[in-house]
C-alpha cells in the first residue's frame, strides 16, 4: 500500500502520523510512504530523522482576528493545494491520512478533490480549526476520545480509535528507563515535566516544591525542565537545598521518554493529547496542569476527560504553587489504594491498540477505492 502522511506544527500532530507508519511497516514491509509537511514546521526536522521520505509545501495558519495576513494565508493555501495535487499525482497514493495542523488543510483537501480516500485523525477533545474544515471532505474522521464523535456533525464517517501514539509506548522497557535515570529498579518515580520545551510556570513550581521533597521517603523525583530552563532551575533548587539529594534528579530533556514513562509511578505534566495517550497506554496516574495558552482551551478539555474517569487530578495553572503541587502529588503517592485505582482507570482509557485500528480503517478505505 502507498500512503501519504501529513501533520505538522507540533510533536502532537507529527508523532501519531509516525506511529501509523510504523504500524503499517510492521504489518507489511512493502508499504511505501510520503510525508508532506510544512517548510517552517517541526516536521521538517523530525520526519527525516524517522527515515520517512519528506516533501514540503509553504503554508501558514489563519489568525483568529481580522488581519491582512489571512489574505496571504488564503493565497498560500491555494498554492499549497496546487503543489499537493502535483505531489499526489506523482506519488499515486492508495490513501492519505492527516493528523492535524494547518499543513493538512491543502494536502487532504487536494486528495479529496482527486478522488483519493482520506482519513483525518483528531487528537484533542476539542477539534482543531483545520480538522473541522477537513471533516466535510474526508472519508473518515478518527477521534482519540470516546464521546467526542458529535464534534464532527457534517462528517461522512466518524470512528473512535484512540491516539496512535499510544501503541508506540506499549512495549517500552522499564528496566532501561531506570538505568538511564540512574535509579534502582523498582523505585517509586515521580516524573515532573512541562513538555519538550519546558513550561515556565511548572518549572517555578518545581523550584518551590523542592524543599517539600527533601526528605525523599523512598520516592525519586525527576524534574525535566526543558533545555531553555535547565540552568536557572538547577541553580535555584541548589540555592534552596544547598545540594541535591540523591532522590532528586534534574534533567534538561529526556530522549528515551517511552522507557522513562514505563518506570514512572506518577507523572505531573501538561495535557497535550499525544502525551496523554502515552501515559494512559501505560496506566500511569497523573496530575495534569493544562496549558492555558492553547486554542479553545483544548488541553483543559483533554485533562477533564481523564479526571472524569478517575485517572488524573487536574490542577489549573492559576492555582499552581509548589505547595499545592506537592499536596496533589503526596495525596496520590502516599496512598497505595488511590494510586492503584487511578492506574487502573488510566489503563482502561489506554487499552486500545490505536495505531492498528487506524491502519485497519486505512486499509478499508484503500480497498474500497480499488473496487
Is the pLDDT at 347 greater than 60, yes or no?
yes
Give the residue carrying C-alpha cell 535515570.
Answer: 181
Q: Mean pLDDT, to the nearest integer, of 304-327?
A: 96
| pLDDT, tens only, 186-243 | 999 999 998 778 899 999 999 999 998 866 678 999 999 999 999 999 999 999 998 8
Position with higher pLDDT, 40 vs 342? 342
180 known member of a binding site: no
124 is in an annotated binding site: yes
Mean pLDDT within 319-342: 95
Q: Indicate the pLDDT class of residue 70, thresholds 50, 70 and 90.
A: low
Q: Are residues 193 and 320 in the same domain?
A: yes
What pLDDT is recorded for position 317? 96
Whether residue 213 sits in one domain with residue 302: yes
pLDDT band at 75 (very low <50, low <70, confident <90, very high): confident
Query: What is the number of domains present in the chain?
Result: 2
Residues 138 and 225 occupy one common structural domain:
no
Please indicate, yes or no, whether residues 321 and 204 belong to a single structural domain of this protein: yes
| Overall average pLDDT of the 274-300 stretch | 93
- Does residue 159 have a known ligand-binding role? no
On whether both 221 and 145 belong to a single domain, the answer is no
**pLDDT at position 315:** 97
- Residue 71 and residue 9 in one domain: yes
Q: Looking at per-residue confidence, does 203 or 165 come out higher?
A: 203
147 is in an annotated binding site: no
pLDDT at 216: 61
Please state the rounded mean pLDDT for residues 306-317.
97
| pLDDT of res. 43 | 93
234 and 201 share one domain: yes
Question: Within this chain, do residues 10 and 103 fall inside the same structural domain, yes or no?
Answer: yes
Q: What is the domain range of residue 109?
A: 2-168+353-370
Q: Note whether 158 and 175 are same-domain residues.
A: no
Model confidence at 304: pLDDT above 90: yes
Instruction: Show the beta-strand stretches assigned E in 27-148.
Output: 32-38, 54-57, 95-98, 118-122, 140-143
Summary mean pLDDT of the chain? 92
Rounded-to-integer distance, Cα 181 and Cα 174, Å? 11
123 among the known binding-site residues? no
Band of pLDDT at residue 62, cut at 50, 70 and 90: low
175 with 250, same domain: the answer is yes
d(CA 78, CA 71): 11
Order of strands across the sheet with 140-143?
54-57, 32-38, 2-6, 95-98, 118-122, 140-143, 158-160
- Phi, psi (deg, nearest 5) at residue 202: -70, -40
Residue 103 has pLDDT above 60, yes or no: yes
Region 58-70: what's the mean pLDDT? 64
For residue 167, give the C-alpha cell: 501503541
CATH value at residue 110? 3.40.50.2000
Q: What is the pLDDT of residue 171?
A: 86
What separation in angstroms does the CA of 162 have from each of 28, 99, 223, 241, 312? Answer: 22, 12, 28, 42, 18
Residues 322 and 362 in one domain: no
127 phi, psi to nearest 5 deg: -65, 150
Task: Report the pLDDT averaged over residues 96-114.
Answer: 96
Whole-prediction pTM: 0.82
Q: Are residues 185 and 233 in the same domain?
A: yes
Amino acid at each position: 500500500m502507498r500512503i501519504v502522511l501529513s501533520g505538522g506544527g507540533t510533536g502532537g500532530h507529527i508523532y501519531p502520523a509516525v506511529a501509523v507508519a510504523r504500524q503499517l511497516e510492521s504489518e507489511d514491509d512493502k508499504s511505501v510512504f510520503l510525508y508532506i509537511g510544512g517548510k517552517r514546521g517541526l516536521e521538517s526536522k523530525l520526519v527525516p530523522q524517522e527515515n520517512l521520505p519528506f516533501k514540503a509545501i509553504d503554508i501558514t495558519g489563519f489568525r483568529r482576528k481580522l488581519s491582512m495576513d489571512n489574505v496571504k494565508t488564503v493565497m498560500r493555501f491555494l498554492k499549497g493545494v496546487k503543489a499537493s495535487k502535483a505531489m499526489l499525482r506523482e506519488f499515486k497514493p492508495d490513501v492519505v491520512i492527516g493528523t492535524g495542523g494547518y499543513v493538512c488543510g491543502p494536502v487532504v483537501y487536494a486528495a479529496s478533490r482527486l478522488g483519493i480516500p482520506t482519513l483525518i485523525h483528531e487528537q484533542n477533545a476539542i477539534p482543531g480549526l483545520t480538522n473541522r474544515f477537513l471533516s466535510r471532505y474526508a472519508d473518515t474522521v478518527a477521534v482519540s476520545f470516546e464521546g467526542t464523535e458529535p464534534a464532527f456533525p457534517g462528517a461522512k464517517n466518524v470512528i473512535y480509535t484512540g491516539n496512535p501514539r499510544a501503541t508506540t509506548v506499549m512495549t517500552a522497557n522499564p528496566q532501561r528507563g531506570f538505568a538511564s535515570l540512574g535509579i534502582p529498579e523498582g523505585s517509586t518515580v515521580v516524573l515532573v515535566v512541562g513538555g519538550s520545551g519546558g513550561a515556565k510556570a511548572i518549572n517555578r513550581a518545581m523550584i518551590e516544591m523542592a524543599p517539600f521533597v527533601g526528605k525523599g521517603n523512598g520516592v525519586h523525583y525527576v524534574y525535566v525542565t526543558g533545555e531553555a530552563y535547565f540552568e536557572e532551575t538547577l541553580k535555584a533548587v541548589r540555592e534552596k537545598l544547598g545540594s541535591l539529594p540523591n532522590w532528586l534528579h534534574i534533567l534538561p530533556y529526556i530522549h528515551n521518554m517511552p522507557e522513562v514513562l514505563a518506570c514512572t509511578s506518577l507523572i505531573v505534566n501538561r495535557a497535550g493529547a499525544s502525551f496523554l495517550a502515552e501515559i494512559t497506554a501505560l496506566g500511569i496516574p497523573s496530575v495534569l496542569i493544562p496549558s492555558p495558552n492553547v486554542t479553545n482551551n483544548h488541553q483543559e478539555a483533554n485533562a477533564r476527560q481523564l479526571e472524569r474517569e478517575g485517572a488524573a487530578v487536574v490542577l489549573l495553572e492559576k492555582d499552581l504553587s509548589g505547595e499545592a503541587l506537592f499536596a496533589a502529588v503526596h495525596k496520590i503517592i502516599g496512598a497505595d489504594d488511590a494510586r492503584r485505582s487511578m492506574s487502573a482507570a488510566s489503563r482502561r482509557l489506554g487499552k486500545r491498540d490505536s495505531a492498528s485500528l487506524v491502519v485497519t480503517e486505512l486499509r478499508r478505505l484503500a480497498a474500497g477505492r480499488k473496487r
